[in-house]
Amino acid sequence: MTPHNDRSALAKKFAQYKADFPILSQTIHGKPLVYLDNGASAQRPMAVIDAEQRYATSMHANVHRGVHTLSQRATDAYEGARERVRSFLNAKSSNEIIFTRGTTEAINLVAQSYARPRLGPNDEILITWLEHHANIVPWQMVAAATGAKLVVAPINQAGELDLAAFKSLLSTRTRLVATSHVSNALGTVLPVREIVAAAHAQGVPVLLDGAQAVPHFALDMQELDCDFYVFSGHKLYGPTGIGVLYGREALLEEMPPWQGGGDMILSVSFQGTTYNTLPYKFEAGTPNMSGAVGLAAAIDYVDRIGLADIAEFEQDLLVHATHALTAVAGVRIIGTAADKASLVSFVVDGVHPHDLGTILDQDGIAIRTGHHCAMPVMDFFGLPATARASFAFYNTKAEIDQLATAVASARALFI
Amino acid sequence: MDLKELYRDVILDHNKRPRNFGVLAPPATSARGHNPLCGDQLTIYAKVENGIIKELKFEGSGCAISVASASLMTEALTGKTLGQADTLYTQIHALLTHADTPDSTSTVDLGKLAALSGVREFPARVKCASLCWHTLQAALNDPTTPVCTE
């Protein structure tokens, strides 16, 4: 990590990046866009847009099929993207990198191919109260099909996982732990190293949902030692429709294919089919090559800036936003964990989040309002919805101050 | 677009002090409505005698637009016939969705309900205003099926 004793040097470094994102230079309702909905989907830098266009204009054909030049170029670009993801995650082998449509599809793949064939009545899947619906519903579907039980580890009033309770819920019946790395609704960073260690001590594999973690700090699969890690390209400044399942090679080898089709086979006859090797076994059909190339470009872009610097700068934004919003009368921050990624969920006394979202939009400020696809978290806090401002490295303290001012005027309208 | 067009004084007033907020016991009919997008939930209770809405109440939680719309609706329809309720439902539906119909060309006097016309400039919010109206239709016609805007 580069030490930045001088905060202004860090702010100066990050002030230059907004210009890389063409979408951010527009006005909304006559006001400069302040995009604070990065947790839902981050914007794409020109480097990503260019990479996708370059692929489409000079490399595209189907992959793994043709002997002609374009097919070879497309295959090289696609497999190059896989290798780029491998190095980004420091996975041992590119066989451990499966491209999916996104986080949701990656979790469903593990649910259907890893969990479903293994689980039966009395088996348990352990998740936490902080999960996005995408890390709840696939397990409910497996539970319904196998008779297994979904067990939920509790959280405290700060929105932190109760680690002692989590450990006590790990038992000989637990067959899989599936937990978010960072809560999308609250920003809580979960103690994933302790979770992995506790689960592995019982011989239980762990899936980490990294959708909200990957944009914010550097990852190392070999150091993290989890068994599955999943994330989406579009939250990492890449395209939509592309995501990644990292899986420990030995586990992926044991798993049957999830979807059947082209590319995932070695030979097919009506008597039987021989499946392809990793990673192709899990990539039936023509994949999203353009998306993979865009994701690799996004990784290059983020790596050039440096995730250590991004983490430091975003923590500065988080502290600033926490202070600025707390200073607004009637604002209550939901999720006050000691370790948070750069997002703030909050409610405003007397102003429904949905009204707040409309009012801020008139000021050009985009935030997320609603249940954030995490209804159990909302229920825990007794709220139907919250407002959520989620920050990227292209956001500034001045934008956060605009947010706080706009929240204060919204409240003034309602009281 | 001006925010004051959406959040008119009538809307803000009915949000802050909803009229007819509460529950009616059976044999009053009721139905539940839900807008999964924003989490709005409300229940409409209607006491109908000889084709006339004698009492209309609602409870639940939601944004200012949904609460004010429900409050205004209960006020407007108490004492009206089921036929009048149907007509008003159609008129409100047109008011909320026909962005090209200026207020002045409307031949009906919607009274305070005209305050809802600002909603049509905010397409993302039309469901907030219409939830209670759909739910009332369900309460009067098909109370067993909960209403969902999605």
pLDDT score recorded for residue A94: 98
Mean pLDDT of the residues in chain A: 96
Partner-chain contact A370 B39, CB within 8 Å: yes
Per CB-CB distance under 8 Å, the chain B contacts of A413 are 3, 7, 12
pLDDT score recorded for residue A220: 98
- The mean pLDDT of A118-126, rounded to a whole number, is 97
In a domain, B100, yes or no: yes
The HSE-up count of residue A297 (CA atoms within 13 Å, CB side) is: 23
Residue ranges of E strands in A154-285: 174-180, 206-209, 228-232, 243-247, 265-269, 272-275
Q: For A122, left (φ over 0), alpha (ψ -120 to 50), or beta?
A: left
Type of residue at A13: K
**Alpha helix stretches (DSSP H) within A59-102:** 69-89
Domain A49-303 sits in CATH 3.40.50.620: no
pLDDT, tens only, A281-294: 999 999 999 999 99
Strand (E) or helix (H) holding A334 = strand A331-334
Nearest to A219 by CA among A87, A97, A104, A93: A87
Total of domains in chain B: 1
Give the distance between the most distant pair of CA atoms in chain A. 73
Higher per-residue confidence, B96 vs A320: A320
Q: How far is CA A185 from the centre of its chain?
A: 12
Report the 10 Å Cβ neighbour count for A178.
Answer: 25
pLDDT score recorded for residue A397: 97
Mean pLDDT of the residues in chain B: 87
Query: Could you confirm whether A226 is annotated as catalytic?
Result: no
pLDDT score recorded for residue B145: 65
**Which of A347, A358, A361 is the mutation pick for testing B, counting most B CBs within 10 A?**
A358
In a domain, B150, yes or no: no
Residues with Cβ < 8 Å from B127, sequence gap 6 or more?
A: B35, B37, B149
pLDDT score recorded for residue B73: 96
pLDDT band at residue A50 under the 50/70/90 scheme: very high
pLDDT band at residue A295 under the 50/70/90 scheme: very high
Instruction: Check pLDDT > 80 for residue A9.
Output: yes
Nearest to B125 among A358, A370, A371 (CB): A358
Per CB-CB distance under 8 Å, the chain B contacts of A359 are 3, 7
pLDDT band at residue A209 under the 50/70/90 scheme: very high
Angle between helices A353-362 and A397-414 (to 10 degrees): 120
What letter does residue B116 receive in the DSSP assignment? G
Give residue B61's domain range. Answer: 3-145
**Alpha helix stretches (DSSP H) within A90-225:** 103-109, 116-118, 137-146, 163-169, 192-201, 221-224
Measured CA to CA, the distance from residue A387 to residue A278 in angstroms comes to: 42
Instruction: Check pLDDT > 50 for residue B105.
Output: no
Measured CA to CA, the distance from residue B38 to residue A42 in angstroms comes to: 22
Q: How far is CA A298 from CA A27, A286, B142, in A?
A: 25, 22, 52
Catalytic residue among A251, A373, A375, A408: A373
pLDDT score recorded for residue B1: 64
pLDDT score recorded for residue A132: 97
- The mean pLDDT of A93-120, rounded to a whole number, is 98
Q: Is B21 on the interface with A (CB under 8 A)?
A: no
pLDDT score recorded for residue B102: 52
pLDDT score recorded for residue B123: 87
Residues A108, A114 contacting (CB under 8 angstroms):
no
Percent of chain A with pLDDT over 70: 99
**How many Å lie between the alpha carbon of A353 and the closest alpha carbon of chain B?**
7
pLDDT score recorded for residue B104: 45
Domain A7-45+306-414 superfamily per CATH: Aspartate Aminotransferase, domain 1 (3.90.1150.10)
pLDDT band at residue B143 under the 50/70/90 scheme: low
pLDDT, tens only, A233-268: 999 999 999 999 999 999 999 999 999 988 888 899
**How many Å lie between the alpha carbon of B83 and the closest alpha carbon of chain A?**
33
pLDDT, tens only, B18-76: 999 999 998 899 999 988 777 789 999 999 999 999 999 999 999 999 999 999 999 99
pLDDT score recorded for residue B150: 64
Partner-chain contact A354 B6, CB within 8 Å: no
Residues with Cβ < 8 Å from A99, sequence gap 6 or more?
A: A81, A82, A242, A243, A244, A279, A283, A287, A288, A291, A292
Partner-chain contact B41 A354, CB within 8 Å: no
**Which of A354, A356, A368 is the mutation pick for testing B, counting most B CBs within 10 A?**
A354
- The mean pLDDT of A16-28, rounded to a whole number, is 97
Instruction: Check pLDDT > 90 for residue A6.
Output: no
pLDDT, tens only, A154-171: 999 999 999 999 999 999
Type of residue at A313: F
Q: What is the CATH number of the domain that holds B101?
A: 3.90.1010.10
Partner-chain contact B62 A385, CB within 8 Å: no
pLDDT band at residue A41 under the 50/70/90 scheme: very high
Instruction: Check pLDDT > 60 for residue A2.
Output: no
pLDDT, tens only, A344-386: 999 999 999 999 999 999 999 999 998 889 999 999 999 989 9
* Annotated domain spans of chain A: 7-45+306-414, 49-303
Scan residues 62-81 of B and list those with Cβ closer than 8 Å to A: 62-65
